[in-house]
Amino acid sequence: MMFNRANELLGANWTLHDLRHTAPFLMLDDPNMPPVYVQHILGHKHLSTLDIYNRPTRDDVISAGLAHHSRQEHKRNNPPPAPPAPAYNRDCLDVLFGRRPG
């Protein structure tokens, strides 16, 4: 089988079942892929069954946490510009202060 030859060349011992777990993990990690779609692709009856695939490695968790803190720091250091102050209508101010418009 070609999969066995690939394992031999790589010095690995992966199985097709490993691939079945890797694909849903990557799909669930994609924010544009709704979990319910992954559920249907895999043919699971219950959405909660996907929990078995959603097990990130320690390195994945650390990387995600560091990236989150980096984004938060960037937001703190680069706040969006304040919206422009509203302009006042001169005619309205004249009326408000009892002056004649114009």
Contact call for residues 47 and 39 (beta carbons, < 8 A): yes
Residue 69 located in a structural domain = no
- Which residues, given as ranges, of the chain have pLDDT below 50? none
Tokens of 44: 């699971």
Contact call for residues 25 and 55 (beta carbons, < 8 A): yes
Residue 23 located in a structural domain = yes
Residue 67 located in a structural domain = no
The pLDDT score that the predictor gives to residue 101 is: 64
Residue 47 located in a structural domain = yes
SS3 16: helix
**Count of domains for the chain:** 1
pTM to 2 decimal places: 0.51
The pLDDT score that the predictor gives to residue 102 is: 57
Residue 73 located in a structural domain = no
The pLDDT score that the predictor gives to residue 96 is: 85
Tokens of 22: 């890797």
Question: What range defines the domain where residue 25 resides?
Answer: 1-57
